[in-house]
Structure 1
Amino acid sequence: MMAKNKFLSLPGMVFTMLIALWNTHAWSIGIAQYSAFINSPDLYPDSLEDTQIGSGYNDFQDFGLNVAFTNNLNAEGLGAVKWKVTNNSGRNLASVWFFGFLDAEIDEPINSYFNESGVLVSVSGAGSGDAAADSWEIDEPGFTFGDIYNNLLAGSLDNGNGVPAGSEDDVSLALGFDVGSLLAGESILAMFDTSLTNIGGLSHADPDSNLTFYFNGVVEVQPLSVPEPGTLMLVIIGMAGLTMRITFFSQ
């Protein structure tokens, strides 16, 4: 009887090497678009968009909203981004909603982007009185069947998942925050985080890469600055002195 070859054949060796490389490859989260949206009837009928990563629109400034953006994402696409949006429009804004939108792909160069799904983990906001998200949506970004982008422009997410497990496709995520009113001069402070740790919010998974990341955020209003007691006292003393001088010269 012929003895079995103790060595792998060349095709077998190549297959083994490919499996080893696959198991040790560095995964990646590629961001196609990272945007903020703001909606108020006192601004414009549709939501305004500010895209800081990827392709999109930037029209906050055109309506008197000053934007400061901070990007603390690492090379893998994980970490925090921050928006500070200051109302320099000269008017108070009512019924304000703020949205964070993330269109990301996991290992797209290796296994494409239409094999992914999303899950609602937890969205627990209770209106404008807290910083947590009040609405959400998981959907195909709108290139084929998804309506998430149209809903962002309308200022109303549908609290639905269009790409659950079993119906995998291109995944995008959005969270909505009821801000309430935003007075002239006030700022919205918004921070969004992507993490491999469960931080609530929404999750995005690629089963072929065996990777899931989480997306969540907080949004709050920074009120108009109030002078510190010492500064306020100096202002009062200065005004009192000015009043005395005016009274003296008017006599």
Structure 2
Amino acid sequence: MTGSDATSSSPAPSSAPSPAPAASFRLAYVPGVTPSKWVRIWKERLPDVPLELLQVEAGDAAGLLRERGADAGFVRLPVDRTELSAIPLYTETTVVVVPKDHLVAAADEVTVEDIADEIVLHPLDDTLDWETPPGRPAFERPATTADAIELVAAGIGLLVVPQSLARLHHRKDLTYRTLTGTPQSRVALSWREDATTDLVEDFIGIVRGRTVNSSRGRRADEQAAKTARTDRAEKPKQGRKQGQGQKPQGSGARRRAGGGGAAPKSGRSGKPRRRS
């Protein structure tokens, strides 16, 4: 075989288009929120759709959703409802973080009056909607909750936060106690109202606890239609199977009733005589 023949017999390069990348779902969440339960259910129900987690500061979450940087997100209320929809999920307990040897640590629960004379740190990323923060203000506001935790450990003051943030920033030398008479943080699932896609609806269903066979939701409708098609295809098959080798109903009954000479005749005719 010559060189030209070898060249002409080689297969032509494939011109088939490459498969389109799978759709993905971007989920934002603020510190203190643990989305692992909902992520696990998503992976079970939609294994073909990657879910990307985006951790974002509480003050930046609404802006990220408005700018379409995420499809949905767990945020802390309030949020501007002009462009965003939100489903409140739960309300957190408010606690005060103190050194373990502080007097407050001796109680199970304290009030704002109990810490009225204490310096209470108020970080710039505070998530509680205060009218007037409790205690005495510090000389300067810490930039973040994490910075405020370090100041509490140094004995500079106390810190009031949602319980999940106290757990998130746990230290062996600090503890926290329930604080009454204060605002409470509410966590919600939020998304851009004009971007309520099928995947957003799927995630809403997961968060609201809908089962995979729920009558609501796009995928449930698709599953119901698939089941209906399967039932319609199976019914003729089942009918044929049931009819094979069986005699028509009613033929035996007719024979037993006198058809075909199966039953002997009594020999009497006419109406029976009345007994006197």
TM-score (norm 2): 0.23
User: Which structure has the bigger radius of gyration?
Assistant: 2
Flag the structure with higher strand content.
Answer: 1
Give me the TM-score of the superposition, normalised by structure 1: 0.25
Greater helix percent: which structure?
2
